[in-house]
Structure 1
């Protein structure tokens, strides 16, 4: 593997820190000075890597979706579509995912903010969301689900919403119950009741 340049490594360090901050605190949680301090860098160095704070937010959105895809890669590469879809649902709607927003899917963390961001960021988020939706639809098509595309939209919306709601629950037992109910309902819609 080719060695990254110092500049590329520094940019990646900023992206990594910003991704954690955005997942945990949203886009408003990213202040350039605090972010650079967190990354162990000077405030002035920011503009050597990003033209603006908005450019950083776009880069971080892309980075978070790439991170999420890498985390789920072992599952998404499973050949059996029923097993693949079942494991995706179980992992996504898990207490671990609820309790680790700093390393989880960006959708539950950012969806409520997207309407307030510039068009470029919303477009990028929408494209990445659509790619996730297509992976769900692909598994449903492989299972010969009669409404694969429509059900994929519904499943994704429920999973993102369920994780966001579970994170809003101050009581972990309530969050666990919410996630379990959503897992059952999503699997039923997907035709995976026995999986």
Structure 2
């Protein structure tokens, strides 16, 4: 039985959204195709009507998650204060505690090196975020905005990853606060 194109496209988007969230929460190896399909309310069978493999889903869901992340950053480029708020929200307890809703960089950076199919999408996302930060963050000195953006984003991603990894809440908060204050006006 063939489904209308609109319904098929909707299912495809649901799979991408669920996969992007689950991969950020559990990692690429921590979630199965069956779990992703169950999260969308679909059975495992139709998966291969949408994707050639789990690796193809990983790559496409990374691009899907990237688009979602870029929307938030695009909104923040409106004003210098919005950019500062973006950074504060990034290195926050809320972001730390919700990897499935957060940035794919902090959630998946350590895993991408082992996933050749995902590296192009991840690289595209990283370069795009760095470019937007370089162009729109209110840098104190404008002499090296790209370099500063790389340093800032590396600190932000590292802070969230480390804050998620430690078993000491006070230390986790200290990590987030230190990086947040480093980029405050």
How far did 1:61 drift?
Answer: 0.3
Which residue matches 1:29? 30
Cα deviation, 1:67-94, whole Å, max 9, x if unaligned, reads: 1122344323x23x3x233112111111
Q: How far apart, in 1, do the equivalents of 2:49 and 2:11 lie?
A: 10
How far did 1:13 drift?
Answer: 1.1
Q: CA, structure 1 residues 142+108, in 2 after alignment: closer, same or farther (shift >3 Å)?
A: closer
Task: Show the 5 A alignment for 1:64-79.
Answer: 64-76=65-77, 78-79=78-79
Which residue matches 1:112? 110
TM (normalized to structure 1)? 0.86
Paired residue for 1:128, among 125, 133, 136?
Answer: 125
Q: For the aligned residues, what is the CA RMSD?
A: 1.8
Higher share in helix: 1
Which residue matches 2:175? 178
TM (normalized to structure 2)? 0.90
Task: Show the 5 A alignment for 1:1-195.
Answer: 5-76=6-77, 78-79=78-79, 81=80, 83-118=81-116, 120-140=117-137, 144-185=141-182, 187=183, 192=184, 195=185
Cα deviation, 1:101-147, whole Å, max 9, x if unaligned, reads: 110000011000111011x4212101111000001110258765222
Superposition misfits of 4+ residues, deviation over 6 angstroms:
none
